[in-house]
Structure 1
Amino acid sequence: MLGKDELAELADRVYHRMIDKTTNDWGMGIDSWDWVPGVGVISILAYGKLMNNHEAIEYLLQWTARNKQLSEQVNVINSMAPYAIFPDLYRLGGEHWYMDTALNVGDWMLTEAPRTREGTFEHTVTENVQFSEQVWADSLFMTVLFLARLAKLTGDRKYAIEAEFQLLGHLRVLQDPSTGVLFHGWNCEEKNHMSSARWTRANAWVILAIPWIAEEIGTTTPFSDEIVERYQRLAAGIRHFQGVSGMWSTVMDQSEFYKETSGSAGIAAGWLAGMRLGWLDDSYKKAINLALHGVIDRIDPDGTVQGVSGGTPVMPSIAAYDEIPCIPTLYGQGLTLILLSLAHADCGKFYA
């Protein structure tokens, strides 16, 4: 078992790789406004809070001041992720710009964000491409997490009700009844899962988002037992596909595909978050520890997290997922940072 000092040192290296050696490339460019830097800053917030690192929180205040003009671009679901840090930053500093902006964005989600015929958010992106009538698992982390945090900040049930509606809606169309795990996407017009890939990072986004969302809205609106049951079924299904190294293939039921780090880190973090809520029992400790060690083996001495698949839309075939190249990315760093931070906070309690 790793000790708290070792976990803290690893987390520090991963964090500083995100902020000290940033570049303008797509994967590690933190000074932009989209889902990639969004996952980066969400993870830095988790790191700062769980590790009591005031330097990390100060970095987020500076990052927002530096990049807030970029938030004025066209609103799309996939670029909502950075706003998830706004409720905490408002609590910390009381600057009304954070609250005003968060309320404007939240109301856009409720009244203007594009939806499928089933009422779930249509996955829209900043790139010049459309995914009409498509529901992606990614949206729960990129968008619904913010809504849940806004609900807790304001105490306004309308945001909590929408967050729960979106969570249930996504789970109902994406969860595979035979395995319990999630398909990457669903086409509401064609009524199918497109390539029907059980993509690992899609499952990671959701297994982590569900307990985090529950923590935010649980005191505002009654939380559906169906969501908890689906989370537990998802957790068990994912565990079935874990490899002997602790890692998951980039498509989890394709054992011959390459092992992927960001999804593996996100899954272990999601299990830890679920154990914190009492949703998972101690039988997950061994699997968490195995995944933690597998992820740590992929961290370079300078803090770079290797083995992270690049940006991945719903691919035209399952085989195409294995062709996505691996590159260093802020979301790979970020999901690893969240895992290390949770493991540090819960060292000796939820994994061994």
Structure 2
Amino acid sequence: MSGLDLANARLATPPREPLARLTRPVLVDLAERLERRGWDLVADWFWGEAVLLQGILRVAAAREVEPPPRVLGWLEERRRAGIAIEHVNHVAPATAALMVAPSDPVWLSLADDLEHWLAGTVTRAPNGAIEHWPGGVWADTVYMAGLFLARLGVQAGRPELLAECGRQLLAHAEVLQDPGTGLYAHGSHGGVTIPCRWGRANAWCALASVEFLELAAASGLAERGQVEAVRDVLGRQLRALTGLQPEHGVWSVLVDDQPETRGILETSAAAGIGAAMLRASVVVPDLDAAVTEAGWRAVRGALAYVDPDGALTRTSAGTVLQLVPFGYSVIRDDLPQLWGQGLALKAVAAALEHLP
């Protein structure tokens, strides 16, 4: 332990008790509060807004109600104002547009333009993984760009784009997934994978894998071998996370409990991972029942942190790649975040879909 700074881990706030029981009325109330608070945070066409809008749409689908008109209204307003595409994360809101207006030629045309921008502008690692920044592969990208490609591929009848999402999932796994444990690192820097198993990185990869498999099953457009390969990397990841989950359900900010971050809990990751675990039970046929049980623990644990005004507390701020574990112990988590609201909504939606 020589040279480690354990101060923040020792001062970490104790975990809350998980919610004792999730019923449909409880979940609907949580969803309405989370959505209402989320709209207070919306600002621009970027990745946080994308995560929130996708969460809102998932809940509407799970409740079997029409999508809130405000979603499409906001997207239309931003489109008319002009969209500056300067980073791979800027394509993410178009995924929500394709979800809420799947056959609208205006959105399909814009999405096509964004796909051409991705293909011609972003840099790639030697194995083809889209880089978050030149020289760096981050787990975030499979969710922000991968899901966009998959959704556009299905909506536009372009199976090559769904296949590209699958390739991105597998290329990112090649760079970021630990072959021994199945856990994902946050990212690589200069071609070197930094072995920090960040919770939200694992949430992004798990959710992107699940949604790829759902779209593949619904559309019949994916190749069997690619589907099986994605199932394999997802299954290994979720089994590993199950084995490391604390009894209260919420993993530390680094899921393998490095000494400098042990007990510093991060709720958005638990919400996203829990949602992925519940949904994976449908698309990964041989998944252990223990993974589904872990998903319920994660969802009940994460949703216990929704405060009365609807904010998911203890959500870490936007986090750049840290080169040592200690870096993740000092990321602020005292403010509500769009991605926390969105991932909590995905947890609510998954729970609604899988209530006994």
> Structure 1-normalised TM-score?
0.88
Aligned counterpart, 1:234: 237
Aligned counterpart, 2:222: 221
Residue 15 of structure 2 corresponds to residue 31 of structure 1: no
Report the Cα offset of residue 300 of structure 1. Answer: 0.7
Aligned counterpart, 2:125: 116
Residue 32 of structure 2 corresponds to residue 16 of structure 1: no
| Structure 2 counterpart SS, 1:36 | helix
Whether the 8 Å CA contact 1:90–1:96 is kept in 2: the answer is no
Q: Distance in 2 between matches of 1:198 and 1:33?
A: 28
Change (3 A) 1:285 1:86: same
Report the Cα offset of residue 108 of structure 1. Answer: 2.2
Q: Distance in 2 between matches of 1:315 and 1:18?
A: 27
Structural mapping, 1:89-168, within 5 Å? 89-91=100-102, 94-123=103-132, 131-168=133-170
Give the AA of the match of 2:122. A
Q: Distance in 2 between matches of 1:322 and 1:202?
A: 15
Give the AA of the match of 1:260. E
Give the AA of the match of 1:265. A
* Deviations, residues 92-121 of structure 1 (Å, cap 9, x unaligned): xx5321111011112222333322233211
Report the Cα offset of residue 82 of structure 1. Answer: 0.4
Report the Cα offset of residue 313 of structure 1. Answer: 0.9
Q: Distance in 1 between matches of 2:248 and 2:354?
A: 22
* Deviations, residues 207-255 of structure 1 (Å, cap 9, x unaligned): 1110101222341121422211111000011112211211100011126
Q: Distance in 1 between matches of 2:82 and 2:314?
A: 30
Q: Distance in 1 between matches of 2:81 and 2:246?
A: 41
Q: Distance in 1 between matches of 2:292 and 2:235?
A: 15
Give the AA of the match of 2:238. A
Query: What 5-or-longer segments of structure 2 have no aligned partner?
Result: 1-20
* Deviations, residues 160-186 of structure 1 (Å, cap 9, x unaligned): 221111111001111001211001112
Give the AA of the match of 2:295. I
| Structure 1 counterpart SS, 2:192 | coil
Aligned counterpart, 1:209: 208
Give the AA of the match of 2:221. T
* Deviations, residues 63-88 of structure 1 (Å, cap 9, x unaligned): 11221145521332112110111222
1:302 to 286, 295, 309: 309
Q: Please say which of residues 201-210 and 6-15 is displaced more in the overlay.
A: 6-15
Report the Cα offset of residue 156 of structure 1. Answer: 1.1
RMSD (Å), alpha carbons: 1.7
Aligned counterpart, 2:341: 333
Aligned counterpart, 1:88: 99
Change (3 A) 1:310 1:253: same
Whether the 8 Å CA contact 1:137–1:185 is kept in 2: the answer is yes
Change (3 A) 1:75 1:209: same
Higher relative contact order (CA 8 A, sep 6+): 2
Whether the 8 Å CA contact 2:59–2:346 is kept in 1: the answer is yes
Change (3 A) 1:70 1:261: farther
Aligned counterpart, 1:282: 289
Q: Distance in 1 between matches of 2:280 and 2:173?
A: 16
Query: What 5-or-longer segments of structure 1 have no aligned partner?
Result: 23-27, 124-130
The percentage of counterpart residues that share the same residue type is 29
1:269 to 270, 275, 285: 275
Give the AA of the match of 1:337. L
> Structure 2-normalised TM-score?
0.87
* Matched pairs, number: 327
Change (3 A) 1:332 1:231: same
Q: Distance in 2 between matches of 1:172 and 1:70?
A: 39
Report the Cα offset of residue 9 of structure 1. Answer: 1.4
Give the AA of the match of 2:108. M
Structural mapping, 1:247-262, within 5 Å? 247-254=250-257, 256-262=262-268
Q: Distance in 2 between matches of 1:31 and 1:97?
A: 22
Whether the 8 Å CA contact 1:257–1:322 is kept in 2: the answer is no
Whether the 8 Å CA contact 1:174–1:183 is kept in 2: the answer is yes
Give the AA of the match of 1:80. V
Aligned counterpart, 2:193: 193
Report the Cα offset of residue 319 of structure 1. Answer: 0.5
| Structure 2 counterpart SS, 1:146 | helix
Whether the 8 Å CA contact 1:32–1:70 is kept in 2: the answer is no
Give the AA of the match of 1:325. R
Give the AA of the match of 1:164. G
Q: Distance in 2 between matches of 1:152 and 1:71?
A: 26
Report the Cα offset of residue 58 of structure 1. Answer: 1.1
Give the AA of the match of 1:268. G
Q: Distance in 2 between matches of 1:51 and 1:62?
A: 21
Q: Distance in 1 between matches of 2:140 and 2:147?
A: 11
| Structure 1 counterpart SS, 2:101 | helix
Give the AA of the match of 1:95. D
| Structure 1 counterpart SS, 2:68 | helix
Change (3 A) 1:36 1:70: farther
Whether the 8 Å CA contact 1:8–1:341 is kept in 2: the answer is no
